[in-house]
Structure 1
Amino acid sequence: MTAARAGNGTGNRDVRGRGFPSRVALSAMEGWIDAAAVPLPPRAVALADLAPALAEGAVLAEPVTAPGDWPPADRAARDGVAVASSDTLGAGSYNPVPLPGAVPVAAGEPMPPGTDAVLPVECIQADGPFIEALGSAAPGEGVEGRGEGVRAGTVLLPAGHRLRPQDLGLFAALGIAALPIGARPRVRIVLAGGPRSGPETLGAMLSALVARDGGVVELVGPLPADRAGLAAAYAAPGADLLISAGRTGVGEDDVAPLALADAGELALHGVALRPGDSAALGMAGTVPALLLPGEPMACWTAYELLAGRAVRRLAGRDSALPHPAVVAVTARKLVSEIGCTELYRVRRTVEGMVEPAASPHKPGLAGAVQADGFVLIPAESEGVPVGATVTLRCFDGTSL
């Protein structure tokens, strides 16, 4: 296939030396990704083998339902003696009451027949071989009743939930032997072009981002800016998703979009996003493909807002941004222009407000490293004035 099949007329245009006639809205790119990146079939993992998967951020592919009540029978909730509560009526420190049917129990042990409460050790005393109550107990006191923790048939956790160690503990107690876990998509990262695309920078950054989002990385390149060579790398079998970085702009050697058209389909090229406006997407054979700019900050932005969404969807995860959102107030104006979604790298001031760490027009990752997070300004906005409330997306490791 040598000609692209465009989704909206932007995919089949060679923009080299001409520029983009128009750019697609970010929401249109997201919609295309949601339609193309269908979650992969889940994998069943034995509970005993799930510890490494937790470190990978494993998520449930299906809801998990309790197979039975927990606890399965009434049990002691504390150390003490199991008693019939009626036998303790009137007991006190000045009126010890003999407990001929008391049975010592430890927390977690089943309640003996004929008992319905547990007196703590401080409320009993031994008188030779006999036990006496120094206080009364109400029915059920000190007891965890059957099904009090979980009732049979209860949905314990929904699909998409990121598993935690405590989850595995409960599943083990309930006798759940295996769980349906989201797949780990095979993501081929192709570094397109020579040193000016920053292949070392891009390879290290993108590999870490894909791993964070649940993918398994195959890193290819850097490859020369050769249309046929890139098309062959894009079309090679063995991947669930293709991400290519570099050679997506308007220069003569920006051949990645043409190579994707040769490998399958260039659906959309050019997005109303700053930085990252030369991103593209399409199909490499039957595999969704995303082309990211070679400039590192633009590459990072296009990954987070586009490619990362595809990785997370294939892995059965929440496709939304994985950055915690908090409300913040601007200490300085965030200047923007209508028609383009802009990602502002911001830092917190000592007063807890946010200010720009770098403009969306400024390249390089230094501003992102020095920032605490970012603010997305929608395409219809002319900017954010001082004192306005914004949503701050916090970078990993940033204190909320």
Structure 2
Amino acid sequence: MSAVSAAFDVRGRGFARRAPLSLAWDWIDGRILPSAARRLALADCVGLRLAEAVAADGDWPPADRAAADGYAVAAADTLGAGSYNPVPLMAAVPVSAGEPMPPGSDAVLPFEAVYAAGPLPEAVDAVAPGCGVERRGAWMRVGDPLLPAGRRLRPADLGLLAAAGHRTLTVLPAPRVRILLAGGPRDGAPEQLGVMLAALVVRDGGRVESIEALPADRAALALAYARPGADLILSAGRTGCGPDDVAPPALADAGSLDLHGIAMRPGGSAGLGLAAGDGAGGVPVLLLPGEPMAALAAYELLAGRAVRLGAGLPAGLPHATADAVTARKLVSEIGCLDLHRVRLDGDGRIEPVGSPGWPGLAAAARADGFVLVPAGSEGVPDGAAVTMYRFG
């Protein structure tokens, strides 16, 4: 285990420099790999990514079946039927949608087209062959490709695969993510980070292994980082320059602190490193600030990327985007990527609802999304075209 180097120990000194976000992304991309594919029961696969393409194991429907409620009939038996010329039906069988068609029938006559008060039902309308019938294999034939490798499985996908005869699938399992809350809120406010980070992890395809509140204690944190059982660790809190900001040195004790201080606002005290765990190269640890908005930004731009890669999903931001025009200037700081929370008006124009340095989640709750201002920019003038990443 290594002691934290002087270059990284910012307690009481501040950050002499911060690493560009691209360097942090390179670190994540070079160390996060999906877990080995596993065969799981269909019900356990929602939200996971297919490791291989899936084809139909059989025809669907497996036989001709009724597509609507009515009477299964031979269409030829209804020729000439009408309201003034009812035609008795010698072989009409009531069926519900989804039931197999009885032998000898090739159409479904709606109930309203049948007069059933006499000894025999009578057709009062004619029907063509195949009307009201789903033919065998109408939706898929055995061997037809269904879903490609890499598909993130939706609930409807699982229904389709069950219909196609699949009971298990080969998928990339969700990465196990340990969430550690270091030291708790400084101002005594209710804890906010655990529930927020857990929801974000699930959104990005991860599985929360545990959520643990720990004191601002270097040894206790180092033990929690090094404990086996997680594929990725998110540690929130105690990452700054104060005397009790012990998360970075604790990570150095547990393995290595590779980056501390990222050129982004908010979230600039984030860090990355490896804990000696049950993985061959160590378990990646993402250090997130304890201030909630800074933690949210650091998750979106750093930790979320790691969770998605671990789930076999694309690394990029998962948000839908919208083209917009600024209604007011977005002020930025050269050398630092800024995440501006913005609100969208009815004319497709956006305005900030809080500066990147403004703390708290209230502004994020009022925002429709965020805009990223690159590190090399002094800001975005009013009337400029931008890309907004939408919340939700």
The TM-score bracket by the shorter chain reads 0.7 to 0.9
Match of 1:284 among 275, 279, 290: 275
- In the alignment, does 2:359 pair up with 1:368? no
Helix, strand or coil at the partner of 2:307: helix
Matched, 1:344 2:340: yes
Measured in 1, the distance between the counterparts of 2:333 and 2:288 equals 23
Aligned to 1:268: 259
**Could you tell me how far 1:369 is from its partner in structure 2?**
3.0
CA shift for structure 1 position 195? 5.0
Aligned to 2:290: 294
**Which residue identity is paired with 2:379?**
G
Find the partner of 1:28 among 15, 23, 28: 23
Task: Give the C-alpha shift of residue 77 in structure 1.
Answer: 0.9
Deviation at 1:73, TM superposition (A): 0.9
CA contact (8 A) 2:58 2:164 kept: yes
Secondary structure in structure 1 of the residue aligned to 2:191: helix
Does residue 307 (structure 1) correspond to residue 303 (structure 2)? The answer is yes
- Cα distance in 2 between the residues matched to 1:296 and 1:104: 62
Provide the residue aligned with 1:134 in structure 2.
124
CA distance in 2, matches of 1:253, 1:109: 69
- Residue 197 of structure 1, CA deviation: 8.2
Counterparts of 1:192 and 1:237, CA distance in 2: 18
Q: Counterpart in 1 of 2:208?
A: 216
In 2, Cα distance between equivalents of 1:130 and 1:149: 35
Query: Is the 8 Å Cα contact of residues 60 and 163 (structure 1) preserved in structure 2?
Result: no
CA distance in 2, matches of 1:61, 1:249: 40
Structure 1 residues 13 and 127, CA, compared in 2 at 3 Å: closer, same or farther? closer
The residue that corresponds to 1:37 in the other structure is 32
Does residue 70 (structure 1) correspond to residue 65 (structure 2)? The answer is no
Letter in 2 for 1:206: L
Q: CA–CA distance in 2 between the matches of 1:197 and 1:40?
A: 39
Match of 1:2, as an amino acid?
A: S
Q: 1:93 to 1:293 in 2, by over 3 A?
A: same
Q: Which residue of 1 aligns with 2:179?
A: 189
Please name the residue that 1:148 is paired with.
138
User: Secondary structure in 2 aligned to 1:304?
Assistant: helix
Closer, same or farther in 2 for the Cα pair 1:113/1:230, shift >3 Å?
closer
Aligned equivalents of 1:220 and 1:370: distance in 2? Answer: 29
State the alpha-carbon separation in 2 of the partners of residues 66 and 296 from structure 1. Answer: 47
**Separation of aligned partners in 2, 1:114 and 1:194:** 73
Q: Work out whether 1:59 is the aligned partner of 2:48.
A: yes
From 241, 257, 279, the equivalent of 2:248 is 257
Distance change >3 Å, CA 389–CA 151, structure 1 → 2: farther
1:54-87 per-position Cα deviation (integer Å, ceiling 9, x unaligned): 8xx6334435432111100111111223333344
Amino acid at match of 2:207: G
Pair 81,369 (structure 1): closer, same or farther in 2 beyond 3 Å: closer
- Aligned AA for 1:284? A
**Letter matched to residue 345 of structure 1:** R
Deviations 1:17-66 (A, max 9, x none): 5554543332332232233222224555445xx3xx68xx6334435432
Deviation larger for 196-205 or 366-375:
196-205
Q: Distance in 1 between matches of 2:134 and 2:111?
A: 17
| Partner SS, residue 148 of structure 1 | coil
Aligned partner letter, 1:365: L
Counterpart for residue 106 of structure 1: 96
Determine the C-alpha separation between the residues in 2 that align with 1:170 and 1:217.
30
Task: Call closer, same or farther: CA 1:102–1:325 in 2, change over 3 Å.
Answer: same
Moved more, 171-180 or 295-304: 171-180
Q: Distance in 2 between matches of 1:382 and 1:92?
A: 79
> TM-score, normalised to structure 2's length?
0.82
**Residue 182 of structure 1: how far off its partner (Å):** 4.9
Alignment of 1:160-239 (within 5 A): 160-164=151-155, 166-180=156-170, 182-193=172-183, 196=186, 200-213=191-204, 214-226=206-218, 228-239=219-230
Structure 1 counterpart of 2:350: 354
The change in CA–CA distance for 1:317 and 1:197 in structure 2 (over 3 A counts) is: farther
The separation in 2 between residues aligned to 1:203 and 1:141, in whole angstroms, is 56
Q: 1:378 to 1:141 in 2, by over 3 A?
A: farther
Q: CA deviation at 1:362?
A: 1.7
Extract unaligned runs of 5+ from structure 2. Answer: 277-281
Question: Is the 8 Å Cα contact of residues 184 and 216 (structure 1) preserved in structure 2?
Answer: no
Q: Is the deviation greater in 134-143 or in 89-98?
A: 89-98
Paired residue for 2:72?
82
The CA deviation at 1:368 is 1.9
Give the conservation status (yes or no) of the 8 Å contact 1:82–1:117. Answer: yes
Secondary structure at the residue paired with 1:39? Answer: coil
CA contact (8 A) 2:50 2:153 kept: no
Which residue identity lines up with residue 353 of structure 2 in the other structure?
A
Taking a change above 3 Å as real, the CA distance of residues 139 and 339 of structure 1, as seen in their structure-2 partners, is farther
* Secondary structure in 1 matching 2:30: helix
Distance across 2 between alignment mates of 1:169 and 1:215: 22
Q: Which amino acid aligns with 1:112?
A: P
Structure 1 111/229 Cα, relative in aligned 2: closer, same or farther at 3 Å? closer
